[in-house]
Amino acid sequence: MRRTRFLIVAVLVCSFPTVSAVCTGRATYRVTFTSLWTSTSHPRQFPGNAHWSGLVGGSHNRMYTMWQPGGKSTTGMKNMAEFGTQSTLLNEMRAQGSKTLDTLALGGIGSGGTASGDLDVDSSHSLVSLVSMIAPSPDWFAGVHGLDLCDQTTWRQSRTVDLFPYDA
């Protein structure tokens, strides 16, 4: 997958109390995707009908990889990157059994828009992978893979991640 530079931000904000805790039990994070890609921020060659597919992904353990740069795409990742469809990717994740804990599927996001949803993690499933198709494009997407929300022994209170586009 080829990496191209864009300005995109996704914010993961913890929605449990701010008291530090050992990475045990379950935590719920508020995931917020904020698109900074607008005709104002990118005035040259900004496409008509620019938008994002719904953000899709979930929490998992180290035995599962939803996607990784340079890796071979599954059918679900291919369908998401080309058409913005979430169902096959969600079904692939759910079929992993104990390797995954929770999934997230949000609606489409307009240029400059925002979407949010909750995602659960636990001590066995502290990694998060999320993706969104960039449109219009043949098969570009932006995302994060294997983001660990456990900082050795403490759940991260929040995490902001700049996302970069990839070519599926």
Q: What is the pLDDT of residues 89-112, one digit of tens each?
A: 999 999 999 999 999 999 999 999
Average of pLDDT values for 26-37? 94
pTM of the model: 0.85
| pLDDT value of position 2 | 38
State how far the Cα of 131 lies from the Cα of 13, in Å rounded to an integer. Answer: 17
User: Can you tell me the distance from the alpha carbon of 53 to that of 65, in angstroms, rounded to the nearest whole number?
Assistant: 21
For residue 168, the model assigns a pLDDT of 85
Written as six digits, the tokens of 8 are 């995109």
List Cβ<8 Å contacts ≥24 apart for 156-159. Answer: 156/12, 156/14, 157/14, 157/18, 158/11, 158/12, 158/13, 158/14, 159/11, 159/12
